[in-house]
Structure 1
Amino acid sequence: MEPTGIGEAEPSRRLLTPHDHVLLLVDHQSTMGAAVGSQPVERLAEATTGLARTAALFGIPAIITSALPLGSGGELVRGLREAFPDTERWIERTALNPWQDDPVRRRIERSGKPKVVAAGVWTEVGVLMPALCAVESGYDAYAITDASGGANPETHDRAVQRMVQAGVQPMTWLQYLLELQRDWTRSDTATAAGDIIRDHAGACGLAAEDLARLLDR
């Protein structure tokens, strides 16, 4: 059967595209990550790397913040540094709520995008606070929950629950990638998207291998 590609049906406006949002990555740092108790730190780093590589592939405007001075126990996750080596994207801040840090908020506003996607450490602070503020400021807000970590499972889960009740839409990094790719016949990103899945999505990488073989026929 021949692939058909994307048809003419109008997609939901809730689906993300590479052109409608800015990505806020909050405090994915070694010292902060060491205090995460909601999931293994290795799993958090893997999800963060997959998310960062996805955003770089699709040209998403990314804002990267740090709560601790970089280079003094506050190194960013390596996969994040490699995906976004441009230090102009990095913002050191003191406000617990990134939305109340003027440089962060101004970059979001200057992007002109109607949607904000957030992930970070800790879920109950660095993700929850700006997500709620984004909703009240008229943005559609999304939270990448597996690329976020809380002090323990309870605090992470309650933060996600509170965000959902406020209208923030939760998703995973793999869901984010597939939503941006949308169709494997989009050849400019399909191969690289498959590589990211193979490298960071565990058993889902097997499906990516099968798809790659089909597309090569």
Structure 2
Amino acid sequence: MAASSKLLTPDNCALLLIDQQAGLAFGVQSIDKQVLLNNSLALARTASAFGLPVVASTSATKVYSGPLLPALRAALPDQPVIDRRSMNVFEDETVLAAIEATGRKKLLFSGMLTEACIAFAVLSAQEAGYECFVVADACGGQSATGHEMALRRMQDGGATMTSWLQVVLELQRDWTRRATYDAARAIVEANGGGYGIGLAYARDMLPH
């Protein structure tokens, strides 16, 4: 049976990392900052494991926000990072060209702040004909209410809400896919909390 066109595959989507910077993380109140970093790092590792094109962009690096978070830089050491002035990546010609160059029409979004740089980009991408997936637990808002309202607005605009764990499991889907099995499992074990602990236990303690 052919895969549903509604599902993410390694061949049909790209990841946008938007303003994953310490200066913006300082203001995040919608999620514990360490949890946000864990989830964003898991998503970056997922992109690397499955060979997804990544477009990373920052803003105000020298004024306030700082560079791409070191953990993400370590996970994606060769990834170019595009600095910009506009809050909306779809209003920056360099970023827009990089998105178009991926050739993908399904876009995953992760970053800060949900109320601004994520929401503006997603609404613009939807209007431009892209299918948008907001990785909600890898986005941070200035407040829990602001984050939720931004998610609702994007969903009303046609975007799909998802989580980093759903993304990695959706891309893998079949644990007999050996090419990505080890990497996918390692991501879940390292970043997946109780589920990851369970996978590690099954590997170490139960007969295969």
Q: TM-score, normalised by structure 2?
A: 0.93
How far apart in 2 are the matches of 1:214 and 1:186? 23
Matching residue of 1:145:
136
- Over 3 Å counting, the alpha-carbon distance change for 1:34 and 1:11 in structure 2 is same
For 1:155, give the aligned amino acid. G
2:31 corresponds, among 39, 50, 54, to 39
Matches within 5 A, 1:54-73: 54-69=46-61
Asked if the contact 1:199–1:205 (Cα under 8 Å) also holds between the matched residues in 2, the reply is yes
* Structure 2 spans left out of the alignment, 5+ residues: none
How far apart in 2 are the matches of 1:76 and 1:214? 39
- Over 3 Å counting, the alpha-carbon distance change for 1:73 and 1:129 in structure 2 is closer
For 1:19, give the aligned amino acid. D
Matches within 5 A, 1:1-217: 9-69=1-61, 74-87=66-79, 89-209=80-200, 212=203, 217=208
Q: SS of the residue aligned with 2:165?
A: helix
Matching residue of 1:4:
none
Q: SS of the residue aligned with 2:48?
A: helix
Following superposition, the deviation at residue 148 of structure 1 comes to 0.3
Asked if the contact 2:22–2:65 (Cα under 8 Å) also holds between the matched residues in 1, the reply is yes
Following superposition, the deviation at residue 85 of structure 1 comes to 1.1
Asked if the contact 1:28–1:77 (Cα under 8 Å) also holds between the matched residues in 2, the reply is yes
Asked if the contact 2:36–2:140 (Cα under 8 Å) also holds between the matched residues in 1, the reply is yes
For 1:49, give the aligned amino acid. L
Partner deviation per Cα, 1:6-59 (whole Å, 9 max, x = no partner): xxx233211100111111100111111011011111111010111111111111
How far apart in 1 are the matches of 2:110 and 2:46? 13
How far apart in 1 are the matches of 2:164 and 2:99? 20
- Over 3 Å counting, the alpha-carbon distance change for 1:18 and 1:71 in structure 2 is farther
For 2:35, give the aligned amino acid. R
How far apart in 2 are the matches of 1:146 and 1:67? 21
Q: SS of the residue aligned with 1:177?
A: helix
Q: SS of the residue aligned with 2:137?
A: helix
How far apart in 2 are the matches of 1:63 and 1:216? 41
> How many equivalent residue pairs?
208
How far apart in 1 are the matches of 2:119 and 2:106? 15
Q: Pick the structure with more strand per residue.
A: 2
Asked if the contact 2:123–2:154 (Cα under 8 Å) also holds between the matched residues in 1, the reply is yes
* Structure 1 spans left out of the alignment, 5+ residues: 1-8
- Over 3 Å counting, the alpha-carbon distance change for 1:23 and 1:214 in structure 2 is farther
CA RMSD, Structure 1 to Structure 2 (Å) = 2.0
Following superposition, the deviation at residue 117 of structure 1 comes to 1.0
Following superposition, the deviation at residue 77 of structure 1 comes to 2.3
